[in-house]
Amino acid sequence: MFVAKYSITNKILKNIGIVDASREVILSSPLIPAWEAKFRKEAIERTVHHGTHLEGNKLTMEEAKEVLAGEDVIGRDRDIQEILNYRNVLRFIDEVSTQISGSPEGSGYVVTLETILQIHKLTTDKILPEEKSGRLRDKQVVIKNTQTGQVSYTPPPAAEVPYLLEDLINWINSEEAKEVHPVLKAGIVHYELARIHPFADGNGRTARAVATLVMFLDNYDIRKFFSFEEYFDENPMDYYLTLQAVSNQLVIDTHERDLTPWLDYFVEGVAIELNRIKERVKRISADARIKDALGEQVVLNERQMIIMEFLHRHKQMQNKDFRKIFPDYSDDTVLREIKFLKQKSLVKKTGGTKNAMYVLK
């Protein structure tokens, strides 16, 4: 059976603490349904964009959002298809996790080879030839540095792939793995799938998707608000070099490979993402029932909360921003909401009518 060798460093301990503390705040914070839906929608958009951009997709975040909304976008057919495919992968994960929600043991859902093949098939639909989509590779591949052309990593031979996957899947479903913290378990699964490199293409997206599924199966979906792909995509070189450095360790047996450097990196990314989400959730929860200058409790509606959220994130708002955040409402409607916030001493206006600027008071 697959054996994961790693050490629990102080850095891992600290970041696991941040993860668990952030998770607790996110799960316990009251949010109105509209904000719950908004956070989940944004998590999908960030996961789809950064998860594909990390692999070379040229579409911007805004273009990815437009594709997800069913709008026409000028871009490579492959890039557009990758966006649609990864959304379908997330839907598959959501369907599986919805089936297990509420069960104390995660319903006993067992990850199988078919699970991984299905995720890969959804990932590469209409991108790879049909005979390669959802199928294990049948030949040796190498990973090259795109800048130098040098081989940076050589995955295991194709003949070993089925047996390596079987070992990993057995470990995922084992009693031993149940004792591993869900974030560490997800990081281990991500790494090993990337190392095995079981497919001709789409390995990175498949590895991250399976890692996400593993967290969800361990009741770590965290309201489906998070996306660790954004952390990876912020500095892709760190992501790939950390994976390759671990994979290229000189060991006689694969069980001797030390995953600690990768898990240090992976857990830190999850901690940063969840801490970021935690702060937003706390702020929105506080803004939902905020006191004005006179000490009166003020209940904000959805549009007013969106304005407060925008000001927290961007520090200021101009009239030209109205269309960006409220495409379905008139400027007069937005101005009425801002007027209310001004009256409650939450927002103030600076500048003249044409150059009006709104900031938090």
pLDDT for position 149: 77
CATH topology of domain 292-360: Arc Repressor Mutant, subunit A (1.10.10)
Band of residue 361 on the pLDDT scale cut at 50, 70, 90? confident
Alpha carbon of 1 to those of 8, 164, 176, 210, 255: distances in Å?
A: 21, 9, 11, 19, 10
For the chain, the distance separating the N- and C-terminal CA atoms, rounded to the nearest angstrom, is 60
Q: What pLDDT digit, counting tens, does each position of 120-164 carry?
A: 999 999 999 999 999 999 999 998 876 677 888 999 999 999 999
- Residue 98 above 60 pLDDT? yes
Handedness of CA 191, 196, 202, 207 (dihedral sign): negative
211 against 100, higher pLDDT: 211
Residue 68, pLDDT score? 96
Give the pLDDT confidence of 198-256 residue by residue, as tens digits.
Answer: 999 999 999 999 999 999 999 899 989 999 899 999 999 999 999 999 999 988 888 89
Choose the weakest-confidence range: 1-15, 126-140, 201-215, 314-328. 314-328
Q: What's the whole-number mean pLDDT along residues 270-286?
A: 88
CB 80 within 8 Å of CB 60 = no
Q: How many residues does the chain have?
A: 361
Which pLDDT score, from 0 to 100, does residue 313 have? 82
- Comparing 11-20, 108-117, 160-169, 287-296, the range with the smallest average pLDDT is 287-296
C-alpha span between 115 and 342 (Å, rounded): 53
pLDDT value of residue 56: 93
Q: Average of pLDDT values for 169-189? A: 96
Q: Measuring CA to CA, how many Å separate 295 from each of 29, 286, 289, 290, 340?
A: 23, 14, 12, 9, 16
Q: What percent of the chain has pLDDT over 70?
A: 93
Q: Does the pLDDT at position 291 exceed 60? A: no
pLDDT above 90 (res 33): no
| φ and ψ at residue 133, rounded to 5 degrees | -80, 120
Please give the pLDDT value at position 189: 98
The class that CATH gives domain 32-258 is mainly alpha
pTM summary value: 0.84
E strand residue ranges, the chain: 143-144, 151-153, 289-291, 297-299, 317-318, 347-350, 357-360
Is residue 106 very low, low, confident or very high in pLDDT (cuts 50, 70, 90)?
Answer: very low
For residue 358, how many C-alpha atoms fall within 13 Å in the half-sphere facing its CB? Answer: 24
Share of the chain above pLDDT 90, in %: 68
SS3 content of the chain, % helix, strand, coil (to 5): 60, 5, 30
Q: Where along the chain do the CATH 1.10.3290.10 domains lie?
A: 32-258
Among the listed residues 65, 91, 86, the one whose alpha carbon sits nearest the alpha carbon of residue 206: 86
- CATH 1.10.10.10 maps onto the chain at 292-360
Q: Evaluate if residue 262 carries a pLDDT over 80.
A: yes
What is the pairing mode between strands 297-299 and 151-153? unpaired
Q: Could you tell me the pLDDT band of residue 311, with boundaries at 50, 70 and 90?
A: confident
